[in-house]
Structure 1
Amino acid sequence: MNLVVIEPRKQRHCSECRRGPLVLHVVEFNAPVCLACADLAHLVYLPRGNAALTRRAREASALSAVVVRHNRRRTRYERQGILVEEAALVLAEAACLADAESRARRRVRDAARRAEHDVRTTAALTAEILRLFPHCPQERARVIAAHASVRGSGRVGRTAAGRALDESAVTAAVRAAVRHDDTEYDALLMAGVPRFRARERVAARIGAVLARWRGDTE
């Protein structure tokens, strides 16, 4: 079970010693308590961002706590870092420095594997676009595939259906590209036209382009 320390957004004062405003506090019996009164003042703060250092520091620390802050937009508490014993942090930093070179080499290898996989994904998606739309210019098909399969984008090419080259998913990617690049859709949105009305106004133009690329108009 993790001890939780809060980084408050509003000014808080300790319910025991009355010191404040507090930078960090715990909650006991629904009231804020400073780290000194909570017997946590000897811990040092390690912000998030270095997963290896955080893991090693927590493993080496007999006592630790998770620091969270409330995100009002998402209405939830989010991790900001941890509190650990200073000696544990020193050990963790030394361990990370000792294997920094090997971790750097591993990151390079992982990046190369991801890049190779991305190339294969884009090539497969390009081939499927050209199968479904044989009159689509090859370079255009490649650009659409590359855009749709950007890692971490959440676009069609990164969905399960897109990776499986599902026909409806591939067609959706092509339709989206045509909507943005071959119609006035973006200009309509910038002019304040609601999205569903803008889509209605460009639907015929999109249909004509897709029909031409499929060869339906010949």
Structure 2
Amino acid sequence: MRLESLFSHRDALPNQALVLGAAMGVATALLLGLSQHVTPIIDALKTQEQRETISEVLPLVTLSEEFRPQSRRFEFDGVAYDLFSFEGGYWVVTGQTIGYGGKMDLMVGTDSQGVIQGVRVLQHSETPGLGDKIELSKSDWILSFNQRSLMNTERWKVKKEGGEFDQFSGATITPRAVVNGVHHMLQALEYEEGVNHDKL
């Protein structure tokens, strides 16, 4: 009986393999179909979010619903940035800086003379209740960059270090990182596009 059972089990193995293979094929096809359906939705949401943030850092620029942000990547001083250009000489630069909790994604909008129209922190891992004051929903600190430029701001540091920007109580590393990041992005824009700050 044992030998018969063994042979019977062996005979069933090819059929089980076929069933398993067919199930895996169906599952793969379903996943591919789902991905093709969901990916455009995710891309559309990302585009909408990016459009809204660009509108925040460039409040004087009107973006249509059909607008699709297209950037050009470049490097400055070993750091990679993405650059968006808009009618009227407006610019948006996105890039990263290193804070207390790791990498932070920044977006800076300027006019044709390099004067900041807005700054937003797109993503961060800073300490809740301390470092997260870089978010506009938590504090208006990020608005202190508005109307600043390389020409009208000499000391791109927090006040604790002799600069012109407030720091947070109990958290100096985070605002310092944002100030350094924004400053470097303005320098990168000047280097890449030759923005004429002498017009100020």
TM-score by shorter chain over 0.5: no
Q: Please indicate the TM-score interval, normalised by the length of the shorter structure.
A: 0.3 to 0.5
- With structure 1 as the length reference, what TM-score do the two structures score? 0.31
Instruction: Name whichever structure is richer in helix by fraction.
Output: 1
| RCO comparison, higher one (Cα < 8 Å, 6+) | 2
- With structure 2 as the length reference, what TM-score do the two structures score? 0.33
